[in-house]
Amino acid sequence: MKENLKHQLAQTIRAYNAKGWSPATSTNYSFRETAESKDIVISRSGVDKAEFTSEDFMEVDFDGKPLSNYYHMKPSAETGIHCVLYELFPEATVVLHSHSVYPVLLSMTLPSVIFEGFEIQKGFDGVQTHESKVNIPIFENSQDMDDFKNWLREHVDQLKHHCFIIKGHGTYAWGKNLFEAKRHLETLDYLCELTWKRRK
Ligand SMILES: [Zn+2]
């Protein structure tokens, strides 16, 4: 099962790279085999995402420390964000991160982004109608991972739509499985593109 999940996520990583969402080896992606597992399978840093394969993952614990077979590998600096999201959302088994252009553009001009009136808002789990208001937070970028993890813990009430934006940086989205995590990330990206393009 783990090998199959690695294969599927690697395929997603290459597809997102083809959309221009992970330039210059950036971004990171992870999964857990089950919602009970404390072992996180995460993309290694420094790998060209155009050529990413199921061999390019490593495993870490909830503190972001490499598991025994992977002790010689360096996890991405952003591994801590994946760890804290699994801690805060025990049902999540997949976390995706993107550096796509439109959320980053919006993040430089707004404190948060509110979507209203778009059919695709229903792509966020729990949103029943395009008439509802969906508020996605934009957090300040931080180079201090412990600070940022604490920030997320303190602002967990703002994370009800399974995603957030980091200012000048990119997006994170998660889900109960890869299908749902992809839907959340792609919904957010599409709504950000719409919002950016209709600005006057
Ligand atoms: Zn990033």
**Dist. CA 128 → ligand 1 center (Å):** 30
CA of 158 to the centre of ligand 1 (A): 20
What is the whole-number distance in angstroms between the Cα of residue 172 and the centre of ligand 1?
9
**Over the chain (200 residues), what is each successive 10-residue block's mean pLDDT?**
95 98 94 96 94 96 92 89 97 98 95 92 89 92 90 94 96 98 98 91
The domain limits of the chain are 2-197
**What pLDDT is attached to residue 200?**
66
Question: Ligand 1 centre from 129 Cα, in Å?
Answer: 31
Residue 90 C-alpha to ligand 1 middle, in angstroms?
22
CA separation for the pair 64, 170 (Å, rounded): 21
The pLDDT, as a whole number, for residue 59 is 96
Q: Is 16 exposed, middle or buried (0-12, 13-18, 19+ CB in 10 A)?
A: buried
Q: Mapping DSSP to helix (H, G, I), strand (E, B) and coil, where does residue 126 land?
A: coil
**Pairing assessment for the beta strands 163-166 and 170-175 based on DSSP bridges:** antiparallel
Domain 2-197: CATH superfamily, name plus number: Class II aldolase/adducin N-terminal domain (3.40.225.10)
Q: How far is the CA of 131 from the centre of ligand 1 (A)?
A: 32
Helix 2-18 with 178-197: angle, nearest 10 deg = 10
Q: Which residues surround ligand 1, an ion (CB under 5 A)?
A: 170
pLDDT recorded at residue 74: 82
